[in-house]
């Protein structure tokens, strides 16, 4: 087995060489690769749902390919490197997890308390003009609704959904119910569909 990090360095060299010597890979941009990032994300979700660790390992590799591909493109233009990406996310994890990395540990915390702490630290970092700033509107509808409801609740403006004959309002009411129960509506629906398929 390779030493920790050795394979990541080797993969970076592979991606740099592919960018230099493969016409298709050299022609790609962040924008042209966006669809593949989305596709690989969905394939990774499928692998998680399958429960097959080998399938998940493979799909995580394909997702990692997208991260390295974008980083090598950015490196060529002088925007940032893969080291910058790793340093940025490392610093963010340290900052957003003061219960682990802070000088004053919070002691034992429940997952809900950890999530609240994360959101609190994140809110101080992000100055938003609107409650929905930072929520990509292209998210799947159930996930988008859940995130918007969560943001509204955190802003002190929870949504009350009245009984309605409108299908969209009824769906929103179900998302609100799931949110209140701590259930991920997107995953719940995926699981229900999978059960139907047998």
pLDDT of residue 3: 62
pLDDT digits (tens, 9 = 90+) for 41-64: 999 999 998 999 999 999 999 999
Q: Is residue 73 part of a domain?
A: yes
- The alpha carbon of residue 176 and the mean position of all alpha carbons in its chain are separated, in whole angstroms, by 21
What span, in angstroms and rounded, lies between the C-alpha atoms of 198 and 193?
A: 9
pLDDT of residue 106: 60
What span, in angstroms and rounded, lies between the C-alpha atoms of 101 and 94?
A: 6
pLDDT of residue 64: 97
Looking at the structure, do residues 76 and 16 belong to the same domain, yes or no? yes
Give pLDDT < 50 ranges for the chain: none
Point out the domain boundary residue: 24, 52, 86: 86
Q: Is residue 97 part of a domain?
A: no
pLDDT of residue 124: 75
> Other C-beta atoms within 10 Å of 159: how many?
14
Q: Is residue 34 part of a domain?
A: yes
Tell me if 174 sits within 8 A of 167, measured CB to CB.
no
Query: What CATH number is given to the structural domain containing 60?
Result: 1.10.287.1080
Domain count of the fold of the chain: 2
Structural domain span for residue 38: 6-86
Q: Is residue 103 part of a domain?
A: no
What span, in angstroms and rounded, lies between the C-alpha atoms of 19 and 9?
A: 16
Looking at the structure, do residues 78 and 144 belong to the same domain, yes or no? no
């Amino acid at each position: 087995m390779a030493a920790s990090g050795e394979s990541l360095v080797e993969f970076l060299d592979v991606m740099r060489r592919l960018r230099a010597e493969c016409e298709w890979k050299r022609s790609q941009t962040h924008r042209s690769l966006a669809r593949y990032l989305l596709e690989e994300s969905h394939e990774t979700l499928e692998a998680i749902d399958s429960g097959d660790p080998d399938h998940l390992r493979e799909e995580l590799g394909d997702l990692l390919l997208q991260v390295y591909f974008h980083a090598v493109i950015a490196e060529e233009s002088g925007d940032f490197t893969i080291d910058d990406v790793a340093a940025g996310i490392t610093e963010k994890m340290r900052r957003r997890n003061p219960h682990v990395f802070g000088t004053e540990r919070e002691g034992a915390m429940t997952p809900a308390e950890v999530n609240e702490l994360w959101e609190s630290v994140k809110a101080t970092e992000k100055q938003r003009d609107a409650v929905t700033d930072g929520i990509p509107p292209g998210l799947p509808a159930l996930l988008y609704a859940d995130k918007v409801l969560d943001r509204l609740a955190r802003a002190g403006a929870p949504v009350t959904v009245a009984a309605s004959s409108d299908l969209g309002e009824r769906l929103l009411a179900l998302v609100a119910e799931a949110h209140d129960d701590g259930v991920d509506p997107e995953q719940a629906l995926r699981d229900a569909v999978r059960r139907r398929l047998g």
